[in-house]
Structures are given as C-alpha cells and as structure tokens.
Amino acid sequence: MARGCICCVKYMLFLFNLLFWLGGCGLLGVGVWLSVSQGSFATLSPSFPSLSAANLIITLGTVVMVTGFLGCLGAIKENKCLLLSFFIVLLVILLAELILLILFFVYTDKVSENARQDLKEGLVLYNTDNNAGLRDAWNTIQGEWRCCGVMGYTDWYTALQVNVVPDRCCQHVFPGCGHNSSNSFWTRGCYEKVEEWLDDNKHLLGTIAMCVLVIQLLGMAFSMTLYQQIHRSGKKYEA
C-alpha cells in the first residue's frame, strides 16, 4: 500500500516537473532568440541596462529549467536530497515573490515615481549612438500603444532640448512628421497607457498569479509527501 502511494505521488511529481522543465526550455529559447534579434526588446531604463525583456526571459527560463530538473530527477530516482532541494528552491522562490509583492504595495507611490523619472532620463539616450535597441523599443511602444513620451509628448521636448518628437508619436505617420509641431501627436503618455492596461486586466493578472501560486504549492506538497513516504519506507537511496 505504501509502495503504491509512493509510485502514485512519484509519477505525478515527475509529470508535473516535466511540464515545468519543458516550459523553462521554451522560455529560454524565446529569451535567446530575443537576445540575438534584440531590436525592439531592449531595455527602456538607463539605470538598469541589463533589465531587458530578453535577459528577464532567459533568467526566468533558467530558473524554471533548473527547478524542473531537480523535481524530475528527484521524483524518478526517489532521491531525498534532490526532493528536499526542490522543496527548498520552491520555498525560496515563493518567499521572494511574497516579499517583493509586499514591498511593491507598501512603496507603490515611490516605485511609480522612480520608474517615471528613470524612463524620462532614458529618453535623453534616444538619438545617441549604440542605443538602437532603446530607440526601436520606444518606436514600437509608441506606435502600437498610440502614446507619446512617458507622461506626454512634451517629455521629448525636455529630453531632446528641441521641440521635436519621434515620428511614431504622430497620429498620421510619415517621415519627418515629428519635426513639425503643427502635426497631431498622441497626447497620452505611455506610462499612463500601461497603468490603464494593468488596471483593465487586473483580474486576469490576478488569476494568473493565483495559478502560479497553486502550482508552486502543489509542487512543494508533492515533493514533501514523496520525501516523507520514502523516509518512512526505510529504504536507502544513493544521492
């Protein structure tokens, strides 16, 4: 009976982490592809030049892959050391998420203010050499979100020290349209548009966050259950 329980939990944990590992492989692949292609996926923040979409996805994919590998190997080998390591990794990730979430809500206004200021400082680099990625990122965001600047198109006037905006700020885009102040520019800032999108999709984002939390808790529960079953069986497994 005990052996049957072990097998059931073992294969459930293995399947769970196999999907987890495959997801990590997918994320890593997308991150590497973005890193190679770069372009519009560069960072917008001058204070955190490494904080690009590609680097974030690569980091996330690597963490997911390593975590999934520990769970898969620990389950199939019934190795208590690997199972405990998998449990600890998930616990550390969960605690880190909770701490970051609490800090974000406690310092929401400060985080928002610093983010706006940092993005405005990044506008200064728009026309500088070796910043094609940042330039493409702003062009893509402003074109697709129909916004201009951080809080409004006048942010570009301050950043570029001249009354011009990128062509993607124009409601009717054509070469050089941003140099003519008589043209119609998008009046809403991109930061405001992002905040609006987050507010409109807060229920979806909350659902996704709950799903991630449930997955983590299930992984911890399965690993600890299997660990305890192996421990109680009295069998000795090599590390």
Distances in Å between the Cα of 83 and the Cα atoms of 76, 126, 227, 238 are 10, 49, 6, 13
Spatial CB neighbours of 219, under 8 Å, sequence gap ≥ 6: 13, 16, 17, 20, 71, 86, 90
CA distance 24 to 66: 8
DSSP letter assigned to residue 236: -
DSSP letter assigned to residue 185: B
CA distance 85 to 67: 9
Both tokens assigned to 116: 């706006």
Terminal C-alpha separation, the chain? 25
* Residue whose structure tokens are 């999907």: 19
Residue-range definition of the domain harbouring residue 127: 1-238
Full pLDDT tens readout for the chain, 239 residues: 456 666 777 888 888 888 888 888 888 888 787 777 654 455 666 666 666 777 788 888 898 888 888 888 888 888 888 889 999 999 999 999 899 889 888 888 888 888 888 888 889 888 887 777 778 888 888 988 999 999 999 999 999 888 899 999 998 888 888 887 767 899 899 999 989 998 899 898 889 888 888 888 888 888 888 888 877 776 444 44
Give helix 2-37 / helix 53-77 axis angle, nearest 10°.
160
Number of folded domains that form the chain: 1
- Are the C-beta atoms of 31 and 78 separated by less than 8 Å? no
CA distance 172 to 161: 24
For 122-170, what is the HEC assignment? HHCCCCCCCCHHHHHHHHHHHHHHCCCCCCCCHHHHHHHCCCCCCHHHE
pLDDT of residue 5: 64
- Across-strand partners of 170? 185
pLDDT of residue 176: 85
The angle formed by the CA atoms of residues 29, 49 and 41, to the nearest 5 degrees, is 45
pLDDT of residue 169: 92
CA distance 150 to 157: 12
Cα torsion 119, 125, 127, 131: sign: negative
